[in-house]
């Protein structure tokens, strides 16, 4: 597959998937065209395409809160854990209201040591 084309699935054509919010799972209104997947599998009905592709409800929270994702920097992947923090609780401005934080830093800041 070149950078400017999608290899079609013989069974599923463009093989579309509806994009979902990584926080709550609601649809975001987008469609991901998967094309041919491994073993010509059918695309899942829903998929998350980006940590920044939030639904309208979660985007609205960014007016007053900052979203912080826990990241495994070794594998360059999100762990699935996140937290919303009031903007006025932070000393710095976070561009677009979304930040990525290393696992160790996230644990230090947000885990209860008695757990």
> pLDDT tens for residues 28-81?
999 999 999 999 999 999 999 999 999 999 999 999 999 999 999 898 889 999
What was the pLDDT predicted at 114?
A: 52
Give CA–CA dist 20/66, Å, rounded: 20
**In this structure, is residue 56 part of a structural domain?**
no
Do 31 and 67 fall into the same domain?
no
Do 46 and 72 fall into the same domain?
no
Do 90 and 46 fall into the same domain?
no
Domain that residue 32 falls in: 1-51
Do 38 and 6 fall into the same domain?
yes
Contacts of 6 (CB under 8 A, 6+ apart): 14, 33, 35
**In this structure, is residue 29 part of a structural domain?**
yes
Residues 86-109 have a mean pLDDT of 92
Q: In what order do the strands lie in the sheet with 27-33?
A: 27-33, 16-20, 46-47
**In this structure, is residue 115 part of a structural domain?**
no
- Helices in the chain by DSSP H: which ranges? 56-61, 103-110
Domain count, the chain: 2
Task: Tell me the pTM.
Answer: 0.76
Do 43 and 71 fall into the same domain?
no
Residues 98-104 have a mean pLDDT of 94
Do 102 and 66 fall into the same domain?
yes
């Amino acid at each position: 597959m070149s950078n400017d084309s999608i290899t079609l699935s013989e069974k599923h054509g463009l093989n579309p998937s509806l994009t979902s919010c990584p926080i709550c799972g609601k649809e975001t209104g987008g469609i991901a065209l998967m094309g041919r997947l491994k073993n010509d599998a059918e695309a899942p009905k829903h998929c998350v395409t980006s940590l920044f592709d939030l639904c309208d409800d979660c985007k609205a929270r960014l007016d007053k809160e900052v979203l912080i994702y826990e990241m495994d920097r070794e594998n360059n992947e999100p762990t699935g854990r996140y937290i919303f923090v009031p903007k006025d609780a932070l000393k710095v401005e976070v561009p677009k209201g979304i930040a990525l934080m290393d696992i160790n830093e996230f644990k230090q800041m947000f885990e209860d040591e008695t757990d």
